[in-house]
């Protein structure tokens, strides 16, 4: 059991990283709707991460489809994928 402890800790760190991605993606979507100064500050902070994240989602979507999607659609698909990945990782740790 002690052998798997570093692996479990790495999975916990991965879950936290996924949570950060989901948080900044939701902030980016909220900034499109409500442009308050607080949301704008968080959006400015997470812009480099979200630019990288949307470019990765765009690359994956172009592999499966020839269409180009808006940033909102890319972020929505990315949030859904990250929630699914987080759920699977949590299920992995619980069992």
Q: For residue 26, what pLDDT band results from cuts at 50, 70 and 90? A: very high
CB of 56 closer than 8 Å to CB of 81: no
Distance (Å, whole) CA 31 – CA 45: 12
Query: Comparing 2-6, 13-17, 38-42, 60-64, which segment has the lowest mean pLDDT?
Result: 2-6
Per the structure, the count of domains in the chain is 1
Can you tell me the mean pLDDT for 24-39?
A: 91
pTM of the model: 0.85
Distance (Å, whole) CA 33 – CA 94: 37
Q: In the chain, which ranges are continuous DSSP H helix?
A: 5-33, 37-64, 71-94
Q: For residue 95, what pLDDT band results from cuts at 50, 70 and 90? A: low
Provide the residue range defining the domain that includes 78.
Answer: 2-94
């Amino acid at each position: 059991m002690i052998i798997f402890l570093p692996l479990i800790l790495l999975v916990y760190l991965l879950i936290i990283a996924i949570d950060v991605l989901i948080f900044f993606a939701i902030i980016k979507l909220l900034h499109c709707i409500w442009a308050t100064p607080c949301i704008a500050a968080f959006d400015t902070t997470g812009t480099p991460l979200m630019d990288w994240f949307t470019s990765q989602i765009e690359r994956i979507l172009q592999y499966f489809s020839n269409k180009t999607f808006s940033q909102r659609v890319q972020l929505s698909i990315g949030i859904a994928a990250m929630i699914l990945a987080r759920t699977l990782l949590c299920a992995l740790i619980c069992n």
